[in-house]
Structure formats: structure tokens, C-alpha cells
Structure 1
Amino acid sequence: MTTSEVLPSADSTNGSDGAPPDMAAMQAKFASIQQKYTEEASKRFRSDGLAQYVDLQDAKDARIHSLGKDPWVDHAALNAKTPAVKDGGRYKFVILGGGYGGLIAAVKLIEAGLVNGPDDLRIIEAGGGYGGTWYWNRYPGLHCDVESYIYMPLLEETGYVPKQKYATGLELREHAERIATKWDLHDKALFRSEVTDCRWSDEEEVWNVAVTENRGPEEGERKLNIQANYFFVLSGILTIPHVPKVPGLENLGGSMFHTSRWDYGTTGGSQEDQNLTGLEGKRVGIIGTGATAIQVVPKLAKFAKEVYVFQRTPSSVSWRGQKETDLEEWKTKIANKKGWQRERRYNWVTYLNNCAPPEQVNMVGCGWTEAPAYCAIIGSPNFGIIEPTPEKIGEHVGGLLMLDLPRAEKARARIDEIVKDPETAKALKPWYPVWCKRPTFSDEYLQAFNLPHVHLVDTDGKGIDSATSTGLVVQGKEYPLDILVLSTGYRSPAYGGLNPAKRTGINVFGRGGKSFDDKWDAQGASTLHGVISRGFPNLFFGPTAQFGQSPNNTETLDIAAEHMTHFIKKAEEKVGGLAVIDPTVEAEEGWAMEAVKRAANLAALSVCTPGYTTSEGEFNKPNQDPAEMMKSARMGIWSEGILSFMKVLEEYRAGDLVGVDVTPRKSG
């Protein structure tokens, strides 16, 4: 897409009084900034796309592979307990994932009265405890980047009061355990375990699930085969850590670890005591400048002798405003009525969907609510359905770029105000709109670069050249290191075309032995409401394609769990017991077409720098094959915003499972 295709029209840029501004000056400025965006994105495009990374679990080099091991698990303690799952066991509900998504789903099923017997519910989790991302990630400085009052699930139900506006990683992990305690889930989970294969039995109408439990170096693996009437794939979207394929990285001397497997043995301290005394006198490098590094770098700077921050693409860093929870405010203004958390979530997301009424009180009042153009990737009711013509798409994208411009310029100006060295400040400036890379929030990160021992190593969008036994090489210069922190993120959520089975790494076979991968690869995303798929009855999966989205992931998970529970409860009421639930072909294709006809609404990704949002630029590659273009269009979300999506679901639930085949399970 060229600059001229996204220039705003006079109608789209009128001032608040309705008078047209100086259009010549505005268009010249806008064109200059858009050209800068294009140049910076072009620097970062690579022909290898996602292949520039290797997943830790798939790394052939033993050292890189070992970086993915669980540093937190207590094998002895878990082995001393009676296993929650027995070989050959049959369970009504089996949930893959013990993070917030799996926990929310379990609670919804329990509260709906669907869990009654001792063998009705089991959870399979790869980690050694509950928490999901908050189990694995324990790096120093870790907090949620969404207000804890709307992020932490089930606050109203548990009565818990978060300690701060943005909860620490430790508090978030403890909250997962709190949920498990309140709903008696501690003896329902098989930890350290992965599902490798699940197959639908047409004869018994159950899922046969193959599980591998890792019982540690002394006992090894235990293979189990279990059955589930209803199977849920809720193992998250950012779960498989990866690292860039830097030549020689495996031979780098000193310590090296991924942020999702933080090595406190090297750094000193712990998640509870973040005094990183092991860094004293050390030269520490960190690759990556995303949402994780924003929190880690200030902690490294506090203790290390030298810190080298290796940057490919800078983050957009807004203010945070962390504060302690005021108990009086909590009682009188926040948690002051039934349904307060959902209301607060909806209030917050109206600002990101760019549909907040002008008279509305901004309940959360955070940096997120100053980014209305984020609606470019999560949708807005303002969009309607955009015609897929160059003119209409150009007008749409141009309007979003103009909407984001005040925030973007403010973010860049903030860097100049904080960072003293002009060259460092220049390199830290993000040249892309807010929707291209998850925005970050910190009152410490930019300030760290004013310290004499913190050095920004800007790679001008190219990344690291290579590694030696003593350090990293960028543009021919070697930077000697004692410790390297890999803040390099995870496999893209869009891996496998948003196929939930492929993303999770399990083989799924439905009716007649049909492969889920084969179906998804052949026709693209195929769901009803983003959570079930024809030919794979009683299989429910975490929402990505064809679902409403929010940067507050627990809001999305809550909506999905509520809808899954509705399907099951309504179906069981209809047949008077265990049910077989399968969407019709017509309903599934009809829902896919809702995504297709709104695909142009998400065209703003075309101006983005490569990153996980665009599958490292693979979304932006020219593609003239009509079949592939159709499959890409089917991957879309509900692009009119998550509140609009909620209304669609509520209207559907008022009916009688329209578009779903429901039959009683044959074997009772």
C-alpha cells in the first residue's frame, strides 16, 4: 500500500469545530510520517519470516533445547501425591491448560451445575502448578500490563482485593492457586503433562486422549490413555518460547537463559526477593525490547556492572502510573455493586474500540485508554463493513493512521523529554502505529538509558549478526558479555493459520478419523463462533479466529468459557443427559463468511513492521492466489469490537442452539 493510498481526506480531518485545517500542511506532515513508517518496516522484512526463529522445544542443539526446561517444578512433591488422572480413566470434562483460561472454564462449568461427580472434571497442565503464563514467567519486574482490577479473573467471586493497580507476577500466580482452592481443583489437575493425540470414537462417542506425564529424571515418563466426553483446548496463545537463529549462539560462553525460564541461580534473588546480587560486576546483555524487556531492563540496570540492550524494533512506551490499591476507593467506587468487574472491563474496552460516549466516566484511566486506534486490530462498531476496494481500504487505513497520530507523536516526544542522549533517544523512537506491536507502559524503562552503564545497541532493524564464545556481534562490533538474557518471546499466535490444534502441538482426529489439521489447511479457519468446529464434536478451543478480541486476554477467555458452557448446558437439557454437540456445515460456513466480509476492516496490518502481530511479516507478503486469499480472510476476528460480538452471542443464546446438531450420547 502506497503513501498516497492512505492519505486522509479533508472530511476525515476536520477540527472539533468542524472547520477544515490547513490541509496542505497536514497532508505533507502525514505523508512524511507515513513514509518513515514504510521505510522502517521495510528494513525489518525478511524472506524467512517465522523461520528466522527456532522454538526451544524443537532446537537440535542441546544447549538451546535445554533453555525450555521447567526450572520451577518440584518433582519429588508431585510424585508423592496420588495422580489426579489414572490410565484408562473416563472423565466428563478434560481441560488442556491450567492457566487462567482453563481455570475460568472449570469455574463456569462448576457454577453451571455441570460438574457433579468426583470424576467429572480433570485438568491437564504442562507446568508444575497452576498459573499458565504466570507459572512460567517469574522474571524480575513482572507485572500485568492491564489494570489488575479488570485483568485478574473472578475477583468478585473470590472477594480478593489486588494489592496494586498492576499486580505482580507473584500475586497473579497466587491468584491462580486461590481460584483452584475456592473451587476445589487442587486434586483435579495432572501437572507436568502434555496431550499428544486425541481421537474421537464414532462408536463410543468420546474423545480418546493420549497423555504423557513427565515424572522427573528418576521416574521418567508415564504414558496414559484417558477418555473425555467433552475436551477443551485452552493452553494459551503465547506458550512456546523461541529464540532467533543467531549463528554461534549455542557456543556463547557464560550464562544464558530465556525470560520465561528465569535463572535466579545465576542472577541471585528470587521472585519473592528481587535483589539480583549475582549480577554485581557482570556484563549483562538482553536481546529483545518488547513488553517483557520493558520490565526487566530497569531491574538489570539496578545490579549489573554493564547492561547492553540489543534492539531490533523499539517499543512504544507510555506512562504507567502504578499505585497501591486504596481500600476506601475499592469499597466505594470500584467493587461497590454486583457485576462491577464486567462493567469496568466493558467501560475500558470502549476506549480501545473507539466508541466511548463523550459523557462516559473513564473508570480505569490508563495509557491503554489513550490509544483509540488500537481498534485497528480488535475492531470497532464504527467500522461497519468496509468494501474491499483500494479506495475504501485506503480511506479506512488513512483514517486510523490519523487517529493514532496524536498518541504516536506524544510517545516520541516523551522519549525526547526523558532520555538525555539525543542519539539514544532517536533510536528508541517507534515508527509504526500503535496496533503493530503491543504498546508498553513503564515509568522506569526509558529512564534507565540515562544511567552511564546502560547501553542501547540498536541493530537498525537487522538483529544480531552472530555470537562468539565471548559475546554478541552487531554490525561488525563485538560486545563482550558474561550473561545473556533472551527476551525474544514466543511462537506467533498465528502459527498454523490460527489452527488451535497445530498451535498447541497436538494431533486431533474427529469423525471418521478426519484430521483437524487437514480440514483447517484445506479450507482455512472453520468454526461456529470461534470455539467449535464441524466434524469434531464436543471439542472446544480457545478463541482466536472468528471471535471477538481484546488486549485484556482474561476478558476474551471469560466470554469464550461462558459461551462454551452455554452450548453444553443447553444441549444436555435438550437431550436429558450427556450430549454430542456438532455445528452444522451451513452454520459454520455462514459464520466464516461473517469474518470474510469483514476482512477488509483489518487491512491496517498492511502498514506494520514485522512482528508477532503479522507473523514476522508473512501476513504482508503479496498473495495473488484466490484460494489462499480466501483462507486468510477466514482467519479474521469479529471486527466490530468485542462488545458488538457479545451482543451477537447474547442474541444467539436467546434461541435454541440454532445451527447445531445435538444428539444424546449413544453409550450413556
Structure 2
Amino acid sequence: MASNLDPLNGSAHNGSASDDTHILPSPEDLKLFKLSQKYTAEATKRLRPDGVDQFIPLKKSGGERLRALAEDPWVDHTALNAKKCPVAEGTIYKFLILGAGYGGLLLAAHLIDASLVTEPDDLRLVDAAGGFGGTWWWNRYAGLHCDVESYTYMPLLEETSYVPTHKYASGTELREHADRIATQWNLHDKAFFRATVKTVRWDEASQLWKVEVTEDRGPSEPSRELSLQAQYVLLASGILAIPQVPKIPGLDSFSGPIFHTARWDYKLTGGTPEDPTLTGLEGKRVGIIGTGATAIQVVPKLAKYAKELYVFQRTPSVVSWRGQRPTDPVKWKTKIAYKKGWQRERRLNYDLYQTDAAEQGQENMVADGWTEMPAYSGLLGSPRHPIVEPTPDKIAEHVGRLFKLDMAHSERMRARTEEIVKDPETASKLKAWYPCWCKRPTFSDEYLQAFNQENVHLVDTDGKGVDNANQSGLVVAGKEYPLDILILGTGYVTPAVGGGSPAARAGIEIYGRGGKSLDDKWRNNHGAATLHGICTNGFPNLFFMPLAQSGQAVNNVFTLDVGAEHIVHFVACAEARAGQGAVIEVTSPAEEAWTFEIVKQAAWHSSMAGCTPGYLSNEGEFLRHQQQQAKQAQDPAAQFRQARHGTWTRGIASYLKVLQGYRDEGSLQGVEVTARTT
């Protein structure tokens, strides 16, 4: 790995590393070098020794008051308690899908469409929420919309014949669409809500999964402990599912109301998810911690009603244009949903522009801010460029190319900030100093404009975060900011927690053959090992939605759809071979062969080494490793283990072609299929 993020190394000379004939750097090269130095300095000052440990899951936070913020504010316990429980001990369910968001719904729909669900007890969805929707159930904050075009994001639009109302759907519309899917595939009586899965354990004798679940029945009834059995367990818990809070000293002592944006309190603010008229904030001094994708949508709504709004910033977001507009019914029929297979085609077209793979003159179907940043391929990968060799010169060449690809766009975004925000000092602090692939970009035509209001105050912490809290408010750099209400827009536990283990990501303990822990396999042994990113040896009939060792897209629902299709293929082929009692398990050689393909591509992610801390960089782990390597040689075994947690860096379209080739071959290579013997 390169010792520093220096694009000049890859562009200031020709020939091999031993060539002494150098060409003087061009003005562009010098500009890139200075920019990379600025980026590295900004990232370094935000780097903390506690890394991801600077945050704690909301449910595990210090005081009872903060832990209570994790409770479901939307659930109707009375209605759910009155219904017949959808699960019963002693019943063997064929499929238990853990998660009832879009991922779980896609799995259920594909299983049903493949005729793998034929009996009433073949399928159950289990979710801690009080209804369908996943992130769209929990998140109902003021201003909530999808940041990906709804025509490509919302799943199963062709199958449901639904026409989104706007180019970017609101949270309410996205939640309603989850219910629409559940209705069309008859899933309402198959969902076990308010159910927190604690452990999933493989039982060798029965060759079934034993699933321990706690059902929350609300404040008027005691919770219930249930033991369920399933032939297949499918993990669909999402990638950002566990709200977190920063470990700010004294946070629990603040005397005013506190809530997390993932559990918005409309009783306090006034309004509803459908009508965010936040009259409860009038006359109030409101503080919000966080300036990520959530705050970009929330801040303009708070600014409209709060007497004074204080926005506490650790790292500014890149804020591009949005361009929200109603769906044109004529364009919908003639240009968008104009043929069978239109949504997959549109998703693939969208991905071309985010992976630097679009050809000159090729139609840009979506044409939004996402399609203007091909350098985001620094995170997603690209089919246009070869695999990066893990040598210093090749890594520097790769990083330099990405910097050049990004520079014009990032400069436009900083210029946009300067043009919109009238106060030069505030504008300067709102400029993002990192390449576009380091943090998820945001899109708004209102956020930057809000800082022109006299009642909106940016509290920039210079990358350090809030110092501490007290009864009256928050303290930054020795200055106290008195507040009446505090809102935590502090995001979620990074999906890289536990080395990216699917169990850790879901907050579940999973034990396979011989009582082996899935977390231990990911963290303490050789590292991640899968076939195609969806299954792993030692855990038969367990499948998980793709993250590590898979292709990824900006549009996560596309990734979920690709994963659901592939999982269903495994089950369908296995049952055709061994009957309905099939036991499916990837072999160790097969998962190691796939892992080797991932390791070969790992150097692509050297572009993350200088990134500012955030959930995409696992709060600066890439930069921390880079700085350690500069001081001493990194342990090759540790480096290899880290490389195993990477993704398919040829882009999701390439990943999809690999999966399709595997399916077309038809033999389930690398997978052992047997029949249950009990």
C-alpha cells in the first residue's frame, strides 16, 4: 500500500520506479498535490484514537433516558396484541426472513414468484419494528425523502404498476410502498413484528435453525420469549439499522428534551410525517448534532420554525443540487416505464455514470447529481479500468487518476457553497475537503440556503466534535451554547462493525456447525469468507444480503434485488436436486477461491486511505492503518485479512454478470447439497 495519498506520485514521471529521468510536474499536477495535502490534513485532524468506539448504539447508551430513545414511537401495540400471533413454537418454518424492510420484502416476493412458498407456514418475516418498511418505518423525520431517484430505487415498480408521485419519493410514500408490496404478495399475516432476534443456532440433530426471539408487547403486557425453528434463515437487516450516539460527556444531564432523528418526536415538535409543520419549535433554541445526509434534509425544516437553530458540525457534507419535481405522466409512459424490464435497464444505466463506465454520447436516463460524479467509482469500483496491482507506483497511479476525475466536480461543489452562502466565514466552514467517494454525497436545494437566515448558526467544531454537554446545552471549544431542545442526527453503527460480519451488522448472535460463531469467523480467524457475498461455510441454509465480497451500488435496493435473485436461485436449484428438505452449504475451497478474487481487487480501495473519518471509512480505519504503516511495516497476515473484507471492484453490473454466468452454468459449483435426514 502507498505510504501517503499523493496523486503526484502517479502522474509526475514516466517509466518505472527505478527510472531516474523525471518530467517536471505540470500545473495540474502541482494543484493535485496541494489538494491531496489539504485533504490529508483535514482528515488527520478528525482522526480519533477511539475510532468507532467514539459512538455507542442508542440501546446501549449510558443512561436509561437515552436508551429509551431507541423505542419504537410508531407501533400500535393495542392493535398488534389483538391480532393472532403469526408464529408458534413447535412449528417448523421453511423460511425465516429476518427483516421486513425492502430487502426482506424482495426476498419474500422472489421466493413466492419462484413457487418455493407453497404452504401457509412456509414463510415468516421477523422484524423488531411495528410494521413493514425497515429504515422507512423507523425514519419519519421532517423533510425525509430518498436521495436516489424513486423510479430506480423503489422496488418492484413494474410488478406493482405503481407510479411514484415525484422524482424523489417522500418517506411516507416509501413506507406506503412497502405495505403495497406486502399486500400484493399476501405477507401481512406472515409478519412477526416487535420481535427482536437474540440468537440463531444450527441444530445438528434436526438440521434446522433454532431462533430465539423476544416479542415486545408494549407497556401494558409483559414481553414474551419464543423459540422458533426454520429450515432456512435469510438475513435482511439492512446496512444502517442501529442508531448510535456520540460519547459526549454529560449528554444525559441535559435538562431539555432529546431525541434521535431515527425516532422523531412529533409530540414535541408539532406536525406529522405527512405535514411537518413544526409549530412546537416556535420560540425554542434548537440544537442538532450532525451534518450528514439526514441533517441536510432536516435543517431547512427546523430553520423554518425554531427561534434559534444551532447546527453542530464535525465534518461538512458535499451538497449538490437536487432538482425535485412531480412525475410527468406522459414521460412516465413514453420514456421511463415504456417496456418490460425498464427498471433493471434504468438501474444499470444509472450505475454506469457512478462507476465511470458510461460511453461518450450514451443516454443518461436519470440525469441527476449522482450521475455527475464518476469519481465515486473510487468507492464502488469500475469495469472500465483494470485491477490495481498492489505496488506503490500502481496504487499512486490509480489514486492520481481518481483525484483528477474528482477535482473539477469537488471544486464546483465548493464554488456552489460559496455562491449560495452569503457569509464568507460560514461558507468556508461548509466546504467539504475530501474526494467525493469518501462520504456519501448529499443533494438539496434548501440546506445551504438555510444558513442565510439570521436564526441559523453553524457551530463548526473543527473536526473535533462537541466537547461536552451540561444541564443547559452543549459546549464547543470552551463556549457554551444554551439549548431548549437537542436533536441527535448522529447516524448509525457502521456496517463495517465486527469486520463486516452479517451477524454483527444485524445485532444477532449466530452459531453454525459445532457451535462456531459467525462473528468469530469474520473477526478472529482468517477474516471474511463467502461465496458471492451471500453465504459462508459452516453455516448451512443461512444466506445474507450482499455487502462484503459483493458488488455494491449507490442504489442499495438494486444490490438487494440482485442478492435476493441469487439467493432464490441457490434454493431453487438445491430443491430441484434434493427435494424440499435440502441442506445447502458452500465448501471451504469455493469460498476461499471467491475470497481470493476479492483479495486480488483490494488495492482499488487504496483510494480510501486518506479519507476523512465517517461510516464509509469505518471512522478512519483506512487512514489509521496507513499512518501505522508509514511508521512500521504492517503485518502481512493482518493486511491480507483486511483485504478479505473488500468488495467486487468492477462495479455491480460486472458482479451481476458473474452471478448470471454462475446461474447459467447451472451446477451450483462449490456448493454441497444434501437432504435432511430427520
Using structure 2 for the length normalisation, give the TM-score: 0.96
Matched with 1:17 is: none
- Distance in 1, Cα, partners of 2:218 & 2:561: 34
Instruction: Give 5+ residue unaligned stretches, structure 2.
Output: 15-22
Which of 542, 554, 557 lines up with 2:557 in the alignment? 554
The answer on 1:476 being equivalent to 2:478 is yes
Q: CA deviation at 1:273?
A: 1.6
* 1:666 counterpart letter in structure 2: T
Is the contact made by 2:5 and 2:609 (CA closer than 8 Å) also made in structure 1?
no
Kindly provide the CA deviation profile for residues 446-503 of structure 1, in whole angstroms up to 9, marking residues without a partner as x: 0000111111111111110111111111111111110111000000010000000122
Q: Distance in 1 between matches of 2:447 and 2:441?
A: 13
Matched to 2:466, the amino acid is I
2:74 aligned with 1:64: no
Q: 1:211 to 1:397 in 2, by over 3 A?
A: same
Q: 1:291 aligns with which of 290, 293, 297?
A: 293
Match in the other structure for 2:603: 600
Which stretches of structure 1, 4 residues or longer, exceed 4 Å deviation after superposition?
Answer: 3-8
Which deviates further from its counterpart, 643-652 or 196-205? Answer: 196-205
Match of 1:77 among 76, 79, 88: 79
Q: Which residue in the other structure is 1:128 paired with?
A: 130
Provide the residue aligned with 1:89 in structure 2: 91
Q: Corresponding residue for 1:202?
A: 204
- Equivalences for residues 117-196 of structure 1 within 5 A: 117-196=119-198
Q: Which residue of 2 aligns with 1:578?
A: 581
Q: Which moved more, 1:524-533 or 1:384-393?
A: 384-393
**Which residue among 238, 241, 248 is the counterpart of 1:236?**
238
Correspondence 1:659 to 2:670: yes
Paired AA for residue 352 in structure 1: Q
Structure 2 partner of 1:542: 545
Aligned-pair identity (%): 60
Q: Does the CA contact (< 8 Å) of 1:57 and 1:65 recur in 2? A: yes
**Is residue 648 of structure 2 the alignment partner of residue 638 of structure 1?**
yes
Quote how far apart the aligned CAs of 1:388 are.
0.5
Q: Distance in 1 between matches of 2:439 and 2:371?
A: 16
Contact 2:200–2:210 (CA under 8 A) maintained in structure 1: yes
Aligned 8 A contact 2:529 2:595 in 1:
yes
Give 2:661's aligned amino acid.
Answer: E
| 1:569 paired residue number | 572
Q: Deviations over 1:196-234 (max 9, x none)?
A: 111112121111111111111121211111111110111
Secondary structure at the counterpart of residue 93 of structure 1? strand
Partner of 2:27: 25
Query: Deviation of residue 107 (structure 1)?
Result: 0.2
In the TM superposition, residue 357 of structure 1 has moved relative to its aligned partner by 1.3
Question: Structure 1 residues 512-521 or 273-282, which shifts more?
Answer: 512-521
Which of the numbers 402, 416, 424 marks the counterpart of 1:400? 402
Q: Does 1:626 align with 2:636?
A: yes
Summarize the Cα distance change of 1:29–1:510 in structure 2 as closer, same or farther, 3 Å threshold.
same
Distance 1:450 1:22 in 2: 44
1:328 Cα deviation from its structure 2 partner = 0.6
Q: Counterpart amino acid of 1:595?
A: I
In 1, the alpha carbon distance for the partners of 2:597 and 2:620 equals 25
For each residue in 1:35-92, what CA deviation from the matched residue of structure 2 results, as whole angstroms up to 9, or x when unmatched? 1101101110000001111111111311111111111111111000001111222110
Task: Tell me which of 527, 530, 538 is aligned to 2:530.
Answer: 527
Check conservation: 2:7, 2:33, Cα contact below 8 A.
no
CA contact (8 A) 2:150 2:168 kept: yes
> Is residue 355 from structure 1 mapped to residue 365 from structure 2 by the alignment?
no
Other-structure match for 1:591: 594
> Matched residue of 1:364: which SS?
coil
SS at match of 2:173: helix
Alignment CA distance shift 1:4-1:99 (3 Å)? closer
CA contact (8 A) 2:389 2:603 kept: yes
State the partner residue of 2:452: 450
Cα distance in 2 between the residues matched to 1:270 and 1:6 = 52
| Backbone CA RMSD of aligned residues | 1.3
Distance 2:618 2:11 in 1: 31
For residues 11 and 564 of structure 1, do their structure 2 counterparts lie closer, same or farther at Cα, with a shift above 3 Å needed?
A: farther
CA-CA distance at 1:3 after TM superposition: 5.4
For the residue of structure 2 that corresponds to 1:621, the secondary structure is helix
| Structure 1: segments with no counterpart, 5+ residues | 13-20
Indicate conservation of the 8 Å contact 2:6/2:400, yes or no.
no
- 1:610 paired with 2:613, answer yes
CA 1:5–1:303 in 2, change beyond 3 Å: closer, same or farther?
closer
Q: Secondary structure at the match of 1:497?
A: helix
1:627, distance to aligned residue in structure 2 (A): 2.0
Write out per-residue CA displacement over residues 417-458 of structure 1, whole angstroms, 9 at most, x where no aligned residue.
111000000000000000111000000000000111111111
Contact 1:8 1:27 in 2 (8 A): no
Q: Which moved more, 1:98-107 or 1:61-70?
A: 61-70
2:325 maps to amino acid = K
**3-state SS of 2:219 partner:** helix
